[in-house]
Amino acid sequence: LEGLTKATLRDAIVEERIHEFFWEQELYPELRRKSKFNGTPDYLGDQIKTYARISGNARAPKAKDYVLPIPLRELQGNPKVTQNDVWK
């Protein structure tokens, strides 16, 4: 661990957790919590692309894969609620 920057260590931890949680129904919440989703979301971050390549998964996640649309009845019932940007 000597010589690692804070960012490099964080990226290595996220990468390991992606591999660890893939089959444990915990990957989605973990990516939301620990990946590059602070501030402006980086929905297609390097960690996700790398895992898709390593695992042989040809489909990389899209922004819509990380959030659900707000139901129409919720939008119609409260004019202050707006649809998630990726679902507009």
Is residue 70 in some structural domain? no
Is residue 69 in some structural domain? no
> Residue 20: which domain range?
6-62
Is residue 19 in some structural domain? yes
Is residue 57 in some structural domain? yes
Q: How many domains does the chain have?
A: 1
Give the pLDDT confidence score for residue 58 in this predicted structure.
Answer: 63
pLDDT for residue 81 is more than 90: yes
Whole-number average pLDDT of the chain: 74
Q: pLDDT digit string (tens) for 5-36?
A: 888 887 787 778 777 777 776 666 666 665 54
Q: What percentage of the chain has pLDDT greater than the value 90?
A: 16
φ/ψ region of 37 (left if φ > 0, alpha if ψ in -120 to 50, else beta) reads alpha
| Residue, of 69 and 49, whose pLDDT is higher | 69
Handedness of CA 57, 61, 62, 64 (dihedral sign): positive
Average pLDDT over residues 36-56: 62
